[in-house]
Chain A
Amino acid sequence: MATINPTRMVLNQMKGRLRTAARGHKLLKDKRDELMRQFMDVVRRNRELRIKVENGLTEAFAALSVASAVMSPDMLEQALVYPRQSVSLDMGFKNIMSVNVPEYDFHTKSAEPGEIFPYGFAQTSGELDDAISALSGVFNDMLELAQVEKTMQLLAQEIEKTRRRVNALEYVMIPDLQKNIKYISMKLEENENSTKVRLMKVKEMVLQDAHHFEY
């Protein structure tokens, strides 16, 4: 408080800063609200997918357990060791309220559903087939989950940042500036008053000296 100069120039500067701060506050608040709206959609979707994926994977693993009980571990490993399928992933970025979130697009090398089994059917059990097809069924959801979850994390970070800025402006910057402006304008008014009083006093003294005038 003591460091600010109660002058007209500083007052004008402060007023300008207050205007900017108020506008920034409004904009950031809007940004935060919109981010929040998007975020809630993403969270809801994420929840759905997570539950779906967890259930799907649990099922797939259960099937795999059965398969590994039926087959010898060596055979099982041998059956899976050379994948016939391969997945390539394409990644792009989408801009949500100036947050860059990834978008995945994947292609499997062979589109035929029968081709997911990397082994011949002669030496493997049917349970393994079930496990692998369950796994590949849940894989689509897993990819979407990855996208949605990453989006959620990035949005959460941006919302946190924006929220902090909004709060800093609302509870620190703007009240501070208002206080300073009030202080300066009061100080200026006081100076003006004291100048006026001094002038009146001088005038009175001068008049008295010249004409022995008295009110």
Chain B
Amino acid sequence: MIPMYKIGVLGGRETVMGFKALGLEVYPVEDLDEARHTFRRITAEEDLAILYVEENLAEGLKRDIDKFKDKPNPAVILIPGRDGPLGLGLSALSAAVERAVGTNIL
């Protein structure tokens, strides 16, 4: 049996709820502190491949998230929360382009 990897979703209870029905591992959190603790705990696990993080938590978790930018595993991906996209995902994209090219060419 090949080791199977997990997909996690970290976010507010209401955001996360829907993903549970899809069979993903969900981690509902109430506030930023709890989110930080949970984030550290679950990213320490070996078999986590993808972690979706709700955008409104991302600002507070920036440091922790940035640590995983250069590692192949796990992939930390921002998803919009219930209030709709905040544009953080797209700005992360521009940041990556800027990092690679030196200037923002988009």
**Chain A residues at the B interface, C-beta cutoff of 8 Å:** 36, 39, 43, 46-47, 50-51, 53-54, 57-58, 60-61, 64-65, 68, 76-77, 80-81, 83-91, 93, 100-102, 104, 106, 108-109, 116-118, 131-132, 135-136, 139, 142-143, 145-147, 149-150, 152-157, 159-160, 163
Flag whether B44 is at the interface (Cβ < 8 A). no
Majority SS at the chain B contact face: mixed
CA–CA, A38 and B52, complex, Å: 25
A100 to chain B, nearest CB (A): 6
Which residues of chain B from 62 to 103 have a CB within 8 Å of any chain A CB? 69-70, 72-73, 75, 77, 79-82, 84-85, 89-90, 92-93, 96-97, 99-102
Chain A contacts for B50, CB-based, 8 A = 89, 104, 143, 146
Is the interface on chain B under 10, 10 to 19, 20 to 34, or 35 or more residues? 35 or more
Residues A81 and B20 in contact, CB atoms below 8 Å apart: yes
- Chain B neighbourhood of A93, CB < 8 A: 72
- A-side contacts of B22, CB under 8 Å: 83, 85, 87, 116, 132, 135-136, 139
Chain A neighbourhood of B102, CB < 8 A? 163
- Bound together, the chains give a CA A57 to CA B93 distance in angstroms of 18
Task: Tell me whether A160 and B82 are in contact (CB under 8 A).
Answer: no
Please, which residue of chain A has its CB at the minimum distance from the CB of B24?
A: A87
- State whether A43 touches B97 (Cβ < 8 A): yes
Question: In the bound complex, how far is the Cα of B84 from the Cα of A84, in angstroms?
Answer: 28
Q: List 24 A-B contacts (CB under 8 A).
A: A36-B101, A47-B90, A50-B93, A54-B79, A54-B80, A54-B89, A58-B85, A61-B18, A61-B82, A61-B84, A64-B17, A64-B82, A87-B23, A91-B5, A102-B49, A102-B73, A108-B23, A136-B21, A139-B22, A146-B75, A150-B77, A153-B69, A154-B72, A159-B101
User: Which DSSP category, helix, strand, loop or mixed, fits chain A's interface?
Assistant: helix
* A87, A109, A149: the one within 8 Å of B77 (CB): A149
Binding site for A on B (CB under 8 A): 2, 4-7, 14-15, 17-24, 49-50, 52, 69-70, 72-73, 75, 77, 79-82, 84-85, 89-90, 92-93, 96-97, 99-102, 106
Contact between chains at B23 and A109 (CB < 8 Å): yes
Q: How far is the CA of A88 from the CA of B22 in the complex (A)?
A: 11
Minimum CB distance partner of A50 in chain B: B89
Instruction: Give the most central of B19, B52, B73, B92: most A CB within 10 Å.
Output: B19
Q: If the complex has contacts A90-B2, A147-B75, are A135 and B99 also in contact, measured as CB distance less than 8 A?
A: no
